[in-house]
Structure 1
Amino acid sequence: MGRSFCLAVGQSPAELSTPQDRLDWLANALPAVVAEGTDLLVLPELFAIGYNIGDQVVARSEPVDGPTARAIATLAKAHGVAIHYGFAEADGDAIFNAAQCFGPDGTRLGGHRKLAIPPGFERAHFTPGQGCTLFTYRDVRIATLICYDAEFPETARYVASLGAELILAPTALGAQWEWVAQRMIPTRAYENGVYLAYANSAGVENGMPFLGQSFIATPDGHELVRAGAQPEVIYGTLQLDKVSAAQTRLPYLRDRKALGPDIR
Structure 2
Amino acid sequence: MSTNSPFKVASIQFNPKINRRNTNISSLIKLIQEAAENGAKLIVTPEMATTGYHYLDRSTISPYVDTIPGFTTAKLSQIAKEYQTYIVIGMAEYDMTSGLYYNSAALVGPEGYIGKYRKIHQWVIENYWSCWGDLGCSVFETELGNISMIICQDSTYFESARLAAVNGADILCFPTNSSGSSISLLQHWAEINGLYVISANRSNTEEDFHMVGLSAVWSPKGEKLAESPYSDIEDESKDNPQILYAEVDPSLYVNSAKERILERRIETYKELMLFLGPWDYTKNTTSRHIHAASIQYEPIIGDKDANLKKVKELIYDQVKDDINLIVLPELTLVGPLETSKQNDIAPYSETDDGPSVFEMKKLAEEIKTYLVFGFVEKSGVKFYNTAVLISPDGEVIGKHRKIHLNNWDESWATPGYQISVTPVDGFGRVGMMIGYDATFPEVAGVLAVKRADLICIPSSWSGEYGTDISMNQKIFPKPYPNGAITTWDAVAKGSQSYTIVANFVGTKRHYKGRSGIYNLDQNYLNDQTVIASENQEEVLMNDFKTMKTDWWLDQERLILTRRTDYYKTLVTSFPPII
Alignment CA distance shift 1:246-1:194 (3 Å):
farther
**Greater Cα offset, 16-25 or 193-202:** 16-25
Alignment counterpart, residue 215 of structure 1, candidates 506, 516, 529: 516
Aligned residue in 2 for 1:194 = 497
Query: What do residues 155-176 of structure 1 show as CA deviations (whole Å, max 9, x unaligned)?
Result: 1010111010111111111145
Residue in 1 aligned with 2:409? 122
**Letter of the aligned partner of 1:208 in structure 2?**
R
TM-superposed CA distance for 1:35, in Å, is: 2.7
Q: Please, what is the CA RMSD of the aligned residues?
A: 2.4
* Partner secondary structure for residue 216 of structure 1: strand
| Cα deviation, residue 178, structure 1 | 5.3
The alpha carbon displacement at 1:16 in A equals: 5.8
Structure 1: distance between partners of 2:446 and 2:287: 26
Q: 1:203 aligns with which of 475, 481, 506?
A: 506
Say if 1:68 and 1:228 are closer, same or farther in 2 by CA, change over 3 A.
Answer: same
Q: CA deviation at 1:49?
A: 1.4
Quote the offset at 1:76 in angstroms. 1.2
Residue pair 2:364, 2:393 contacting (<8 A) in 1 also: yes
1:239, distance to aligned residue in structure 2 (A) = 1.0
1:42 matched to which residue of 2? 327
Distance 1:244 1:172, change over 3 A: farther
Q: Does 1:26 align with 2:286?
A: no
Question: Is the contact between residue 302 and residue 348 of structure 2 (CA under 8 Å) also seen in structure 1?
Answer: no
CA distance in 1, matches of 2:301, 2:370: 22
| Contact 2:301-2:336 within 8 A present in 1 as well | no
| Aligned-pair CA distance for 1:241 | 3.0
Is 1:232 the equivalent of 2:535? Answer: no
Alignment of 1:80-91 (within 5 A): 80-91=368-379
2:453 aligned with 1:150, yes or no?
no
Paired position in structure 1 for 2:388: 100
2:563 alignment partner, SS class: helix
* Structure 1 residues 179 and 17: alpha-carbon distance in aligned structure 2, compared to 1, 3 A threshold: same
SS in 2 for 1:122: coil
1:10 corresponding residue in structure 2: 295
Letter in 1 for 2:418: G
Tell me what 1:257 maps to.
563
Contact preservation (8 Å) 1:187, 1:221: no
TM-score normalised according to structure 1 size: 0.89
- In structure 2, give the amino acid aligned to 1:185: W
Q: Secondary structure at the match of 1:208?
A: coil
Give me the whole-angstrom Cα distance separating, in 1, the residues matched to 2:516 and 2:569.
31
Give the secondary-structure state (helix, strand or coil) at the position aligned to 1:189. Answer: helix
Q: Does the 8 A contact of 2:365 with 2:393 survive in 1?
A: yes
TM-score, normalised to structure 2, is: 0.42
**Structure with higher strand content:** 1
Counterpart CA distance in 1 for 2:373 and 2:564 is 38
The equivalent of 2:145 in structure 1 is: none
Bigger mean CA deviation after superposition, 143-152 or 219-228: 219-228
Identical counterparts, % of pairs: 25
Corresponding pairs, count: 261
1:3 CA drift (Å): 2.4
The answer (yes or no) to whether the contact 2:323–2:369 under 8 Å persists in 1 is yes
**Shift, 1:33, TM fit:** 4.9
Q: Distance in 1 between the 2:409 and 2:391 partners?
A: 29
Gaps in structure 1 of 5+ consecutive residues:
none
**1:187 Cα deviation after fit:** 1.5
Instruction: Return the index of the structure with the highest Cα Rg.
Output: 2
* Cα deviation, residue 203, structure 1: 0.8
Higher relative contact order (CA 8 A, sep 6+): 1
SS of match in other structure, 2:359: helix
TM-fit CA distance, 1:103: 1.3
Whole-angstrom CA distance in 2 between matches of 1:52 and 1:209: 14
Alpha-carbon distance between aligned partners in 1 of 2:301 and 2:566, rounded to the nearest angstrom = 49
Q: CA deviation at 1:261?
A: 5.4
* Residue 14 (structure 1) shift: 2.6
C-alpha separation in 1, matches of 2:392 and 2:351: 21
Counterpart check, 1:61 vs 2:349: yes
